[in-house]
Structure 1
Amino acid sequence: MLQSLSNSKQHLIIFTRYPEPGRTKTRLIPALGTVGAANLQRQMTEHTISQVKELQQATNVSLEVRFTGGNLQLMQNWLGLDLVYQLQGEGDLGLRMARSLFDAFQSEMKQVVIIGTDCPGVNSRILTKAFEQLHSFDLVLGPAIDGGYYLIGLRRFIGELFANIDWGTSQVLQQTVDIAVKLNLLHTYLSLLADVDLPEDLPIWEQVIKGEVGVWDDRELER
């Protein structure tokens, strides 16, 4: 499946959705409207990919876009023909992530990282750090302020990390760490970042597009 990728053993998977109005960023529709919310999805995905391409200029990392909504032609028309695209497929988020990781490790990747596009603070430096940490740790997590995670990195397939998780809740990170501890996995954390999911999160995106830093200190967490 991934034979068309470079000979890199480091692989990055981006989870995103085709920006169809009314079907993406739905919690932001009251503030932005259906078209505005879809445009934000489009811009945030493009921003994420730009950060990955910056990473690729310095590091040999292959890239794959796992998408939902739209179709292959629409994705290629949007983001170009030079990317590898795969459908996320059926199931909850955990099953879809587990499937993508299984495929990557079956293709003999040694370090695999998954990110979404909801966290504009993810940049090439953070991605570089994630892959560096995978030399020493079994599991790398990027904690999100809402209790989830914006990044997960592994150096082998561990399906248990994606089962019996209450996806979309503030318990996701802690439940994942609890499983990692039970499995005796060496794990570490990246910087704490904020997702853009709700109208009150929009200033986070505005700061990023103004070129401000996306990593938050304790004062900035008090909203």
Structure 2
Amino acid sequence: MSKTRIILIAKEPRPGHVKTRLIPALGEAGAAQLADRMLRHTLAQALAANIGPVELCVSPDPAAVYWQQPGLGDRAILSSQAGGDLGHRMAEAAQKALNDGSPVILIGTDCPDLTANRLQQMARQLQHHDACMCPVADGGYALLGLQRFNATLFSEIPWSTAAVADITRRRLAALGWRLAESDPLNDVDEPADLEKLMTDHPELMVS
């Protein structure tokens, strides 16, 4: 299997700036602590998948002290996110990797179900499809893999809504691209998601 680059789109877990929808349940510090644990978990799974280079595409600043901690910037390639909305940031990261000649898998840090085994499965699917996707139960997606680039997959999409995965499917179909999908996964965005996180990934819960 050819090497597939994993790009982890990540935000520095500063209290009050991450997981804001979880702040009513966890407080600013607790939400930031959970964001930190989920980021580290996702990075560990991406590295364990061993399917190719792992890139941490971060905001606001890859030179920040946080990214210099052991186990973060020393284990992955650090890069800076582009400006603009989530779609523009993802598009810039994906296009750069694809221009370098390797398939790319884009992931965030909100879905602990993206295990090393799952990432390996999706990379294998990507060898025989133009794109692959791991949808999540709330209508978004946790992973998008691409063999080639098209800007329509990232532009004018209502991010953080239940329409994201369906719009992406329709745009892939309009391009005539072959898509492989996983079963829906669970991400962690709302207080209601914490109960399932406690059941499935208790090690990530904030004490």
Shared fold by TM > 0.5?
yes
Q: Find out whether 1:177 has 2:185 as its counterpart.
A: no
Map 1:15-164 onto structure 2 (within 5 A): 15-56=9-50, 59=51, 61-74=52-65, 75-77=67-69, 79-109=72-102, 111-164=103-156
Structure 2 unaligned blocks of 5 or more:
none
- Superposed CA deviations along residues 43-90 of structure 1, whole A, max 9, x for unmatched, are 00011111112211xx4x110001113542321226242321111121
Q: Structure 1 residue 37: deviation in Å?
A: 0.3
1:145 and 1:193 in contact (8 A); partners too: yes
Distance in 2 (CA, whole Å) between partners of 1:80 and 1:179 is 34
SS of the residue corresponding to residue 121 of structure 2 reads: helix
Aligned length: 200
**Does the C-alpha gap of structure 1 residues 174 and 10 become closer, same or farther in structure 2, counting only changes over 3 Å?**
same
1:149 and 1:172 in contact (8 A); partners too: yes
The two structures have a TM-score, normalised by structure 2, of: 0.91
Distance in 1 (CA, whole Å) between partners of 2:6 and 2:75 is 15
* Bigger mean CA offset, 129-138 vs 68-77: 68-77
Root-mean-square deviation (CA), in Å? 1.5
Distance in 1 (CA, whole Å) between partners of 2:39 and 2:200 is 13
The two structures have a TM-score, normalised by structure 1, of: 0.85
1:141 and 1:152 in contact (8 A); partners too: yes
Structure 1 unaligned blocks of 5 or more:
1-7, 212-223
Q: Percent identity?
A: 36
1:10 and 1:112 in contact (8 A); partners too: yes
